[in-house]
């Protein structure tokens, strides 16, 4: 998978789990003596959470989570492309989390666990895309 210029792979940050949640909005219309009627009002949020492991001493080095944070700090919507080549749309990074364990000399982690949360962006760039 690739988010903007950042590519998730075995050579840097390999994700092991992907969670996707898509919301669909329904408004409840109260009725006397009956159950509420529901009316579809549109799509809600669409989020993806990637969880993975980085072994900095293997490949990619210690800077992988920092690269994710730098991409997020730019505050720019980014294209998200699945490993199959399918374009999933434009997304924003909402959160980057990391955990470290198994430390080498001077405190360098031999394993970093990461989670990155992205949300689908629907603010105008959509018209520029061919899907």
| pLDDT, tens digit (0-9, with 9 covering 90-100), for 66-120 | 999 999 999 999 999 998 999 999 999 999 999 998 888 888 888 899 999 999 9
**38 touches 26 (CB < 8 A):** yes
Polymer length in residues for the chain: 131
What is the CATH topology of the domain spanning 2-126?
Elongation Factor Tu (Ef-tu); domain 3 (2.40.30)
Please give, one letter per residue, the 3-state secondary structure of 68-100: HHHHHHCCCCEEEECCCCCEEEEEEEEEEEEEE
Single pTM value for the model: 0.81
Query: Domain segments of the chain: what residues?
Result: 2-126
Closest CA relative to residue 54, chosen from 62, 44, 46: 62
| pLDDT, tens only, 18-75 | 999 999 999 999 999 999 999 999 999 999 999 998 888 777 778 889 999 999 999 9
């Amino acid at each position: 998978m690739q988010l903007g210029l950042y590519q998730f792979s075995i050579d840097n940050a390999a994700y092991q789990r992907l969670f996707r949640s898509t919301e669909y909005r329904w408004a409840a219309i109260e009725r006397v003596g009956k159950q509420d009627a529901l009316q579809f009002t549109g799509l809600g949020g669409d989020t993806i959470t990637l969880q993975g492991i980085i072994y900095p001493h293997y490949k990619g080095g210690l800077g992988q989570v920092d690269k994710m944070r730098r991409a997020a700090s730019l505050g720019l919507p980014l294209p998200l492309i699945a490993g199959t080549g399918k374009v999933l749309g434009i997304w924003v990074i909402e959160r980057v989390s990391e955990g470290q364990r198994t430390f080498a000399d001077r405190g360098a982690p031999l394993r970093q666990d990461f989670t990155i949360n992205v949300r689908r962006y629907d603010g105008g760039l959509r018209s520029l895309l061919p899907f």
